[in-house]
A and B are shown apart, each in its own frame.
Chain A
């Protein structure tokens, strides 16, 4: 592609800069005194991408391969390591703890994701329309939680959720709802969902807002002339036009949700009879490795989870490829 452009550009290049010989030579041929454009490009391209490639190999491919190798072995407390083929994977897919964890994150996602993305979309539409100072404050405030480390966010909410100190309980008392234990078994997922929503709505909102900002304004003019109100414009025009951004945001959110780890981990200590070590698949993998030293089975769990995520994402992308604009 770039070669074609190169050919075409001879017509537009400033005449003084065009070397008479060079570009009329077929590009695959050798030019005296230098490499061909193709080789030059190849060499340069490889060079520029090599740091990334090295890091990619060292910190993604190598650990993944090692983890896979680990997952093919079994290690017991008594008796050490031995090769066991896919026994670990077999165990994974019949392990009630892994399966209940998967079920839990799916249930969590089904409720929390639409809620959060709905809020993000609402927010994005609002700040696209309204340009008041309030809107600017709104935009910044919703985005601020993104700047907070998940650990600190979980600590903050942990305090707020406290049955004794948290304002939540004094509010519920005054509303006549009595004592509400947000860290109880029944409400834990909701409480976790709240933290995640607080943390990520702003980020998704900005992504969708950016997409909205890229839409051509003429369409709105036409709509207004046709008598469309703001709401109608939003629903019928804006949302469909940013569907590709929405699909991508949805996909990344799903990926993140399936890997849910940090908030349960931080709250694990203060709510350990509710957040069991297998609460989410990722937490399960973590505890298997770091608490029980079952590195092999942990690797198998991670890979199984990764497989679920991977296959799901590609399927999702494939199904929405027209919408998302990716080829």
Chain B
């Protein structure tokens, strides 16, 4: 047959058909392969599956506990990322219109940002307001706007001072109760041992919340913001209180009384575990953190309240803490709200795991003020009941608003602090520079900024 001797229109056509079918098959396969990627689960009979993104340590057990006790709602947990990585994925998924989970773990400072994208469901419509009394008021006010509830608080980071009791004894230091005393003890320490520091000053992005928490304690309230009052926003990052804090620490840095290693790097851990740092200005989640990065210093640390600006004042600040929100992409708002409210909520069982194994600091009133938590002894702190310091701190924190462009504000702050560290700028100008850049940014973004 002549068809085998030379290429004919038929053979070309045949090839074309074969290729097209292959391509079509490929596309179909692709479409099928995407199943189950996003959003909520099954409809119809059977439990409703709610997808949760979170990065809490030991969270698997908490999820198991929830699934055990809730038969009509089941949690599917995925760790989509830690911190910023998770927020990036969330923001991209929200922009794309699909791919976001039902319930997502959000730190408090990130809430207004996500809420502004209209990415959060108002859980108030699904009964979440009933939980108001269950949580410390400052956390609830950050998680809600009047009757609109955008998040259910989970854990917090009230600040306190952890110190090496053995080093204090060795160098004859007394536990400072004011920042002035803190500076004096720092000078004493450095004189006795120039290679030791009172603590590490958090100069990097990770420590932006640390710096903000200290300014919080000093009375700074940089933002006045409420989603229901858009586009108005008040921005005052350079009030006297904030300046006081930055100039204080700048002074300590200049006198080499504190180190400037980036937080959450191996050098920082090394400083904590080798006695390079005599104190660690920490948050309520600090104990777990410290006991894992500085495991070999177990028994040597103690916890004392944060030094005050005015003796006896009792002002507090918070660093970090997170909550559960429901995204606007959920197809099961009722069940998702239930999950957000009850994964931790006031559940004793969940919080036992949270407190004992994940070292989370509860913001849920019955747990926070309950006997178990308050009287718990921590071996790492030589058996001290550290929560007798942390709980009053948590209860003593007053309200504080975050901005809906917190990432930008934190980055700008880190940048300016970096410049001050290098000696490019004076410490006293850091807050002014940040104020100027942030207000300019906010105006460009369409806010009506009042200073």
Contacts and interface: CB of A to CB of B under 8 A. Distances in A.
B95 A273 contact: no
A3 B399 CA distance: 82
A92 B296 CA distance: 51
Contact of B19 (A47, A165, A277): A47
Interface in B242-300: 261-262, 264-267, 270-271
Interface string A13-45: 000000100100000000001110000100110
Contacts of A307: none
Contact of A273 (B8, B271, B414, B444): B414
Contacts of B15: 44, 47
A212 B444 CA distance: 56
A44 B204 contact: no
Given A47-B19, A273-B203, A293 B91 contact: yes
Given A35-B12, A47-B16, A290-B88, A77 B445 contact: yes
Which of B92, B205, B230, B422 neighbours the largest number of chain A CB atoms within 10 Å of its CB?
B205
Interface in A203-225: none
Nearest to B7: A40
Contact of A40 (B12, B265, B408, B447): B12
B445 A35 contact: no
A151 B98 CA distance: 28
A287 B408 CA distance: 10
Contacts of B432: none
B395 interface: no
Contacts of A262: none
Interface string A261-277: 00000000111111011
Nearest to B15: A47
Interface stretch (A113-121, A156-164, A247-255, A316-324): A156-164
Nearest to B448: A78
A276 B424 CA distance: 15
Contacts of B9: 34-35
Nearest to B417: A273
B307 interface: no
Contact of B414 (A47, A270, A272, A291): A272
A133 B445 CA distance: 63
Contacts of A276: 411, 414-415, 418
B262 A273 contact: yes
Summarize B's interface: helix, strand, loop or mixed.
Answer: helix
Given A35-B9, A164-B270, A295-B95, A277 B16 contact: no
Interface string B199-238: 0000111100000000000000000000000110000000
B118 to A, nearest CB: 10
B231 to A, nearest CB: 4
Nearest to B9: A35
B405 interface: yes
Contacts of B270: 164-165
B423 to A, nearest CB: 10
B407 interface: yes
Given A34-B9, A291-B407, A293-B95, A272 B446 contact: no
A6 interface: no
B421 interface: yes
Q: How large is the interface on B (under 10, 10 to 19, 20 to 34, 35 or more residues)?
A: 35 or more
B153 interface: no
Contacts of A59: none
Interface string A230-263: 0000000000000000000000000000000000
A271 B5 CA distance: 69
A78 to B, nearest CB: 3
A185 interface: yes
B99 to A, nearest CB: 14
A79 to B, nearest CB: 4
Nearest to A17: B5
B157 interface: no
Given A290-B92, A293-B95, A295-B95, A50 B19 contact: yes
Nearest to B116: A77
Interface residues on A, range: 35 or more
B262 A270 contact: yes
Contact of A19 (B5, B117, B205): B5
B204 A54 contact: no
Which residue, B15, B117, B204, B270, has most C-beta atoms of chain A within 10 A? Answer: B204
B204 A273 contact: yes
Interface in A135-189: 159, 162-165, 185
B2 interface: yes
Contacts of B6: 19, 22, 33-34
A35 B8 contact: yes
A78 B267 contact: no
Contacts of B95: 293, 295
B445 A78 contact: yes
A66 interface: no
Given A273-B418, A276-B418, A35 B447 contact: no
A76 interface: yes
Interface string A41-75: 00110010011001000000000000000000000
Contacts of A277: 411
Contacts of B91: 290, 293
B446 A34 contact: no
A272 B204 contact: yes
B266 A292 contact: no
A33 B2 contact: yes
B404 interface: yes
A78 B404 CA distance: 10
B192 interface: no
Contact of B23 (A54, A76, A163, A291): A54
A47 B447 CA distance: 55
A162 B422 contact: no
Contacts of A272: 204-206, 262, 414
Given A77-B446, A78-B446, A295-B95, 16 more contacts: A19-B6, A34-B6, A40-B7, A44-B7, A76-B446, A159-B266, A164-B266, A164-B270, A165-B266, A271-B204, A271-B262, A272-B205, A273-B204, A290-B88, A291-B407, A293-B95
Interface of A: 19, 22, 33-35, 40, 43-44, 47, 50-51, 54, 76-79, 159, 162-165, 185, 269-274, 276-277, 287, 290-293, 295
5 contacts: A43-B12, A76-B446, A162-B266, A271-B204, A292-B408
Interface of B: 2, 5-9, 12, 15-16, 19, 23, 84, 88, 91-92, 95, 116-117, 203-206, 230-231, 261-262, 264-267, 270-271, 404-405, 407-408, 411, 414-415, 417-418, 421-422, 444-447
Closest 4 CB pairs of A and B: A273-B418, A78-B446, A272-B205, A76-B446
